Each structure stands twice: as C-alpha cells, then as structure tokens.
Structure 1
C-alpha cells in the first residue's frame, strides 16, 4: 500500500501552477537569453479530463487559456497532482518521464530546446 494519501488537485490549482511555470520560464529566459522556440503548447490533465493551452515564444509561456489545442506542437500529459509537484520542483522531470508519470509529445529538436528553458 502507498503511504501517501491520493489527492486530486483542482483545476484552479493547476491553472495557478501553470502561471507559476510561466513566471519561471520568463525568469529563465531573461537570465539565460532567449531560446529560439515558437510553438503552441497543450497541457492535458488526465485525471481531471481538462486541458490548458498557450504558446511558448522567445522562452516565455504566453496566452495561457483553458481548453485543449489538438494541433499543439508540444503536448504535455500528466495528472493534476503530478503537474503541481513538477512545478513545485518536488518531481524531477526526467524521472517522471521515465516512470511515465509525465508524457511530452514534441519533435526531438523542440525537446532539446525545452530542456534549456526548464
């Protein structure tokens, strides 16, 4: 049995986490210089059956809105709780990808550029 109690973060908590991620990406872009990446992004929360979408431009996450973008060039799928812990830095992205707790669909070149942002 798992020692941790299963919880589900709310849509509002996930929206706030994505706004925090947007702020962090902007700070990284300012500190590390602009990354040449202009792509649509969808974040799909599998346990809530909801999604958010926006655009990564110049290393910044902009235009974050509710709803999915099925044509997004970069798509992240995870649970609400894993999104929260990922943004808080309590979940390591490479380990989460290896454990299939997080899935990212993007071209190999976009993945390399994303690494520089995060």
Structure 2
C-alpha cells in the first residue's frame, strides 16, 4: 500500500509533468479549478488548486474532502502512483471504477485531452 508521502510525491510528479506539457495538453492543464484527490485506502484527501498548468497541493486532510472541489478524484494510493508512473491507463481505470473523477461537463471535455 502506497504511503501518504508516496502519494504526495506522485502528485508532485504529475504537476511537474503537466507543467512541461505543450499544445492541446497544455491548454487542458491551464484550467484554474479547485482540486481534491481522496486516497481511499489511506482515508485522506489532498486539497489544492489546478492553476498555471500545475497542481498545487495546499493541505492534506483526514477522511473525504470537507468541501466540494470543482475537480474531484478518488482512488487508492497504489492506483495514484501507478497512474502517474504510467503503469495504469487512466481511461481503463476510470471505466472500471478504480478511479472516480467528478467535474463539470466542460471541465471533463478539457481534461480528456490529458488522457
């Protein structure tokens, strides 16, 4: 099982990758939205903001997110690490229910460019 620190590091790697993106992917990462990522097996949530082409984590809270972020993810820590490291396909994980993503329809259309 991935640790809190491994999950935080995975989110940092994802943010770094987003910051280096170009073209359509860069446009998709340029959203300015509140973000939460609930790590189900650790029962903790990383809370932050997607802004300037990066994800900035502001806080880590115990349990599910206390406030409803504009973009909400939920998954196990191992799945987060595997997604960021390329060992798990996002579309497959989302379709099978391993990863949950909730956002407005317009945000989902933008975020699909990241897949």
TM range (shorter): 0.7 to 0.9
- The partner residue of 1:76 within 66, 73, 77 is 73
**Structure 1 gap ranges (5+):** 1-7
* 2:11 aligned residue: 18
- The partner residue of 1:39 within 18, 29, 33 is 33
Q: What is the TM-score when the length of structure 2 is the normalising length?
A: 0.85
Q: What is the TM-score when the length of structure 1 is the normalising length?
A: 0.83
**Structure 2 gap ranges (5+):** none
* 2:20 aligned residue: 27
RMSD of the alignment, in Å?
Answer: 1.6
Query: Which runs of structure 2 are paired with 1:1-118 in the superposition (5 Å)?
Result: 8-28=1-21, 31-32=22-23, 33-35=26-28, 36-67=30-61, 68-118=65-115
Query: Partners in 1 of 2:20 and 2:114 — Cα distance?
Result: 10
Larger radius of gyration: 1
Flag as ranges the 4+ runs of structure 1 deviating above 6 A.
Answer: none
Greater CA drift, 8-17 or 49-58:
49-58
Q: How many residues align?
A: 109
Shift of 1:69: 5.0
Query: Partners in 1 of 2:12 and 2:59 — Cα distance?
Result: 10
